[in-house]
Amino acid sequence: MTRAFPVGGVSFVSRFSLPSLKHIGFAPRLRAVMLRSCARGPQDALRCALPAALPAVCDRLRECAARIPEAREVLAILEKCTKQQCKGDFPIVVFEGLDATGKTTVTQAVKDALDAVLLRSPPACISQWRTIFDDEPTPIRRAFYAAGNYILASEIAKASTQAPVVVDRYWHSTAAYTIATEINGNVQNLPPVQDGVYQWPEDLLKPDLVLLLTVSPEERARRLEHRGLERTKEEAEMEANSLFRQRIEESYRRMMNPACQEVDANPSKEEVLKTVLQLIKKHCAF
């Protein structure tokens, strides 16, 4: 199957075929081999955990579909929506960052300021299955979040034909958290700058701008205390393990094509919004 995808405003053609749902099955021995192969070394495990393209995502979901019915549902949604990954005329701005850096507040404010469409990852059509996949081994869990990016891309593409699109997390979150989870120790143990793991997937709709919101550890702690929301396992680990948090932040900073533009979110929400809108005006055409 042939698909056209925009990169930097220019479309290119990518060939891939989605796996047919009639072939979905689960072979325990195959899954065991997959997980063992992911454990040969840190770099091997990382590349196994982070699917590089849509076919790899679908293969991973197929391997667990007999055991996890929701994987079949995700595959069915993917088959319906991947045809729509052609960007419209309006800009796409993604906001990334750790939990409690102000993404929810800023994205809502930007949505109102630009009269934009606000979308979030994972998309609503699969977010109810998040807790199910969070309890699965890393390769399966990451396939779910990667699939969410491709589903979200279809929603982004459709929305961008009608209005600017603001996105609360996208591929960079999937990649940064995967890298930080699979690599232990301090940031010196991360894959080197320019490594392929930091590269945006060629078959995924690309945004016009990615803004990384950052705050000091002290400010994050203060905000988290006032939120009282249930946290994911990774968010809980981030609070207990400062090295894990540092690996996530550094992974975000190493992302390429597009890179993340860092925004200091420590000031007041009014100041942060002003900075963000200036960057959008500078980098996006309306």
Bridge partners of residue 256, in order along the sequence: 199
Bridge partners of residue 212, in order along the sequence: 96, 262
Return the residue matching tokens 């979901």: 61
Give residue 246's pLDDT: 94
Reported residue count of the chain is 286
Least confident span in 2-16, 201-215, 231-245, 260-274: 2-16
* Buried/exposed 116-138: b ≥16 CB within 10 Å, e otherwise: bbbbbbbbeebeebeeebeebeb
Give residue 241's pLDDT: 81
Give the whole-angstrom CA distance, residue 286 versus residue 276: 15
Give residue 89's pLDDT: 94
Q: What is the pLDDT of residues 208-218, one digit of tens each?
A: 999 999 999 88
Give residue 35's pLDDT: 42
Residue 87 pLDDT > 60: yes
Give residue 222's pLDDT: 83
Give residue 240's pLDDT: 66
> Residue 13's CB: how many other CB atoms inside 10 A?
8
Give residue 244's pLDDT: 92
Give residue 82's pLDDT: 61
Give residue 28's pLDDT: 42
pTM equals 0.81
User: How far is CA 286 from each of CA 42, 106, 109, 116, rounded to the nearest angstrom?
Assistant: 43, 20, 18, 12
List Cβ neighbours of 95 (8 Å cut-off, separation of 6 or more).
103, 106, 107, 110, 166, 167, 168, 169, 210, 211, 213
Give the whole-angstrom CA distance, residue 134 versus residue 129: 9
Give residue 47's pLDDT: 73
Q: What is the pLDDT of residues 244-280, one digit of tens each?
A: 999 999 999 999 999 999 999 999 999 999 999 999 9
Give residue 229's pLDDT: 56
Give residue 12's pLDDT: 37
Please give the single-letter amino acid code of residue 79: E
Q: What average pLDDT does this structure show over 181-205?
A: 94
Mean pLDDT for the chain? 84
- φ and ψ of 117, to 5 deg: -95, 130
Residue 11 pLDDT > 50: no
Residue 193 pLDDT > 70: yes
Return the residue matching tokens 């591929």: 171
**Measured at the alpha carbon of residue 274, what is the angle toward residues 95 and 164, in degrees to the nearest 5?**
50
Q: What is the pLDDT of residues 162-185, one digit of tens each?
A: 999 999 999 999 999 999 999 999
Bridge partners of residue 118, in order along the sequence: 166
Give the whole-angstrom CA distance, residue 159 versus residue 157: 6
Between 48 and 117, the higher pLDDT residue: 117
Q: What average pLDDT does this structure show over 92-115?
A: 96
Give the whole-angstrom CA distance, residue 270 versus residue 52: 38
Q: What average pLDDT does this structure show over 190-196?
A: 94
* Residue from 181, 182, 186 nearest 235 by CA: 181
Bridge-based pairing of strands 10-15 and 2-7 is antiparallel
Least confident span in 115-129, 206-220, 231-245: 231-245
Give residue 23's pLDDT: 38
Residue 27 pLDDT > 70: no
- Yes or no: say if 255 and 177 are a contact pair by the CB < 8 Å rule: no
